[in-house]
Amino acid sequence: MKKNFLILILFFYFSNISVYSKNNLYEKIDLFGEVLENIQKDYVDDVDQSEMMDSAINGVLQSLDPYSAYMSPELFEEMQTDTRGEFGGLGIEIGMEAGVVKVISPIDDTPAAKAGIKAGDYIVKIGNEQVQGKSLLEAVKLMRGPVGTSIELTVRRKKVKKPLEFKIERKIIEVQSVSSKIIGEEKNLGYVRLKSFNENSDKQFLKSVKEFEKKSKIKGYVFDLRNNPGGLLTQAINITDFFLEDGEIVSTKGRKVSETRKFFARKGDEIEGKPIVVLINNGSASASEIFAGALKDHKRAIILGENSYGKGSVQSIIPLRNGGGIRLTISKYYLPSGKSISEVGVTPDIVVEEEGDDFSINTDKDNQLNYAIKLFNS
């Protein structure tokens, strides 16, 4: 029954396509039906046809890009629910790459970051469950659970031969998006670490900058976006606008006219042209890449560190009639230069890789930050 229903949906969906394309698609639909019949008849184990259909739908979406996915009614309801402290997380922003869950970035001061999870790690097992073949949202569901309970993650890391195992305790994830301090040998540099682009990031960020500007000794700024997984597009635009006098910040392009837009800076540089160094790494994604890329294109800042993640797309959550939903990519970001961030990221002006096994962001062992400080003294 479910098979026939899906084929009927496909029939109506493709009813407005050219005759040549229709013939090819109808052949594929017939082939799909034939495959389902053979599975039902000959596969070694009994198969839940409903789950198989969900997997087929999810496979279609995941073939588009790593960020599109299907949510069953149960998963969609769970994702929409405000747990209010009932469930905890690990503090990891994840994506999909070639069917494997990849860590975009661990969030500072969360269980994952403290355990040693790094941007670029591939999660191959969650507890006893193999991740290969699961959707991104299924992986998220496995990692969530009651606060105080633990989960074991098995990861693969570049340049490390054996898989690494981490036992991590779930906690409520509360991210303070902005922290700041005075740095430099002469205590004349403003350092602002931006951990995410949430609803209040622009106000917190600007407050930190204005407090620094009251100090006449400040001669430049280091803005740290390492392991910042991004967030709200509006926040990226607002914060970038602080440091540009004019010009384009970012554009989005999609199939719909409403998703094709350009955003421009308003007159006024909050720090009146003082030099800026922006720190990025493989865990800097999405809104972080807009900020870094726009300042780079306008030659307003020196970008230092490692190539960013390369997530330059916008997703929309679309409810479905069955109570489920889909997460679908509806547009892509483009920098002022016209370049897409997707799968490419932002390349630093000065490449400085992490050094040492004891490397830690914003400490004496942070060679990238130390390099940035030296730039102001050269």
Question: Strand pairing partners for 317?
Answer: 327
- The label of the residue with tokens 């280091």 reads 222
We find that the CATH architecture of domain 81-169 is Roll (2.30)
Q: Is 155 left (phi over 0), alpha (psi -120 to 50) or beta?
A: beta
Cα angle: 230, vertex 115, 183; to 5 degrees: 60
Please tell me whether residue 251 adopts helix, strand or coil conformation: strand
Q: Is there a shared CATH topology between the 81-169 domain and the 178-314+327-377 domain? A: no
Most confident of 76-85, 105-114, 238-247: 238-247
What is the residue extent of each domain of the chain? 2-47, 81-169, 178-314+327-377
Residues marked as catalytic: 286, 297, 311
For the purposes of burial, counting CB atoms within 10 Å of the CB of 114, is it exposed (0-12), middle (13-18) or buried (19 or more)? middle
Distance of CA 31 to CAs 23, 42, 319, Å? 12, 16, 29
Q: What is the pLDDT of residue 84?
A: 38
Q: Torsion over CA of 51, 57, 62 and 64, rounded to 10 degrees?
A: 170
Spell out the residues 6+ positions from residue 237 whose beta carbon is closer than 8 angstroms to its own.
249, 250, 263, 290
CA distance 292 to 304: 10
- Rank 91-100, 143-152, 175-184, 291-300 by mean pLDDT and report only the highest: 291-300
Say what the pLDDT of residue 292 is: 97
Please determine, for residue 71, whether its predicted confidence score (pLDDT) is greater than 50: yes
The enclosing H or E element of 327 equals strand 325-334
Choice among 9-13, 125-129, 215-219, 316-320 with the minimum mean pLDDT: 9-13
In which band, very low, low, confident or very high, does the pLDDT at 79 lie, cut at 50, 70 and 90? low
Q: What is the CATH number of domain 178-314+327-377?
A: 3.90.226.10
In sequence order, the 6+-apart residues with CB closer than 8 A to the CB of 351 are 305, 306, 307
- What tokens does 285 get? 């994604």
The H-or-E segment that residue 176 falls in is none
Q: For residue 14, name the pLDDT band (cuts at 50, 70, 90).
A: very low
Within 72-213, strands assigned E span 87-88, 92-97, 100-106, 122-126, 129-130, 145-146, 150-156, 164-169, 178-183, 189-194
pLDDT at 23 over 80: no
As a whole number, mean pLDDT of residues 315-323 equals: 90
User: Can you give the pLDDT at residue 8?
Assistant: 44
Predicted local distance difference test score (pLDDT) of residue 48: 83
Rounded Cα distance between 238 and 143, Å, is: 33
DSSP string, 186-245: TT-EEEEEE--B-TTHHHHHHHHHHHHHTSTT--EEEEE-TT---B-HHHHHHHHHTT-S
**What's the pLDDT at 368?**
96
Instruction: Estimate the crossing angle of helix 2-13 against helix 49-62, to 10 degrees.
Output: 30
**H/E element holding 37?**
helix 19-42
